[in-house]
Amino acid sequence: MRVDEASPAPRVLIYSHDTFGLGHLRRSRAIANAIVARNRGARATIVSGSPVIDRFGFAPGVRTVRLPPVTKFRDGGYASLDADIPLARTVAQRSSIIVRACEDFRPNLVIVDKEPAGFHGELMPVLEAAASRGILLVLGLRDVLDDADRLVPEWERKGAAETMARFYDEIWVYGLSRIHEPLAALPMEAEMAARIGERLIYTGYLRRALPEPRADREEPAIASGPFILVTPGGGGDGAALIDWVIGAYEIDPGIPLPALIAFGPFLDAETRERFGARIRRLAGRISAITFDSEIEFLMRKASGVVAMGGYNTFCEILSFDRRAILVPRTEPRREQAIRAQAAERLGLVRVLMEADGRAPERMAAALRALPDQSEPSRVLVPGLLDGLDAVARRVRALAGAALESSCVRAFS
């Protein structure tokens, strides 16, 4: 094939380590779906450690490979989800599966989500092989990683900056620099900073759309009228938010809209049952579901949203133009708080910090005021939701560059 012929359809491998929650998987799914929708004949494979990946639908042309799952503790430590298997053995199994998936799929582009070397370095064999075979590599970063005092020692320990400079052709930040610059705090020598800086692209946030609904989709009765959606994402660290909202309804019968709480698949059963008992005493004012893999439909219908402020939920709030109260977590990372407070300064959301007090009256006052908040669209932020279009454009360009590189090697 001549280098001036049309480039082939992109073949994109997306690595998502997924040690906690749903954020990485949902971001990877949005990117993969957009790639195949915007590039004729494109195919994508998501390699993910999420234990609930089979509960999500994906666009035609997107397949998934599941890695043995690991779990993350609140202190930042990790273990195999199967407690009988040593973590080192699980990492070795995961690394072998990733290598095999790459060999079978033969991508011309690999997009790595957040971790430059993968979880515990499990991606290094793929990075080494890709570099030797001319497969282009992209590191995709959410808009905020963490506070500098937490991020810097972690990334220095992992050698993340060196890995970025050595292997990655481009670094995409799925956000805007005016909200946050996730790599600005990393101490780097001038030469390395320049190399990384020239590869850095801010795409804008990833716009979300309604998925194709499942044929058997059902929604709770409360969603047939005005309601507030309360979503702590995966739910593994969302108990405090749910407790605060239920407490507000318990002390204030005058909150104008009922609430629908989506517990999330990782909220433990005992806690969920305790919340369920309280919710049953508030029948008609609060309803709850365990999980909705198509939560975009509920987000679009809701009159307002109460959430923790994870990346994907924030994108959905912007995409569906929902009034929102964010209650960001601050442990083990401050990522959500940094994002939420930057968004509040722009007038996009309202923020309640738990550190300022968890009195139910504070939440009740915010819920009362929620219907009168301004929608995010009232604030003009250029390029705010251009992320998926930017990603699709870069995939086309990089796929063509990969073809040219392979042809040059073939004839050299």
Residue 249 parent element (H or E): helix 239-251
pLDDT in tens, 110-151: 999 999 999 999 999 999 999 899 899 999 999 999 998 999
- pLDDT above 70 as % of the chain: 94
- Pick the more confident residue, 212 or 250: 250
**Whole-number average pLDDT of the chain:** 91
Q: What mean pLDDT is predicted for residues 388-400?
A: 92
pLDDT in tens, 15-45: 998 765 677 888 999 999 999 999 989 999 9
pLDDT score at 45:
97
At 197 the three-state DSSP class reads: helix
pLDDT in tens, 84-100: 899 999 999 999 999 99
Residue 352 has pLDDT above 60, yes or no: yes
Strand partners, 172: 140, 201
Strand partners, 109: 12, 136
Residue 307 has pLDDT above 90, yes or no: yes
Sorted by where each starts, the structural domains of the chain and their CATH numbers stand as 11-207+385-411 (3.40.50.2000), 221-378 (3.40.50.2000)
pTM: 0.90
**If 0-12 CB within 10 Å is exposed, 13-18 middle and 19+ buried, where does residue 312 land?**
buried
CA distance 124 to 131: 11
CA distance 395 to 138: 10
**What are φ and ψ of residue 183, in 5° steps?**
-100, 0
pLDDT score at 403:
58
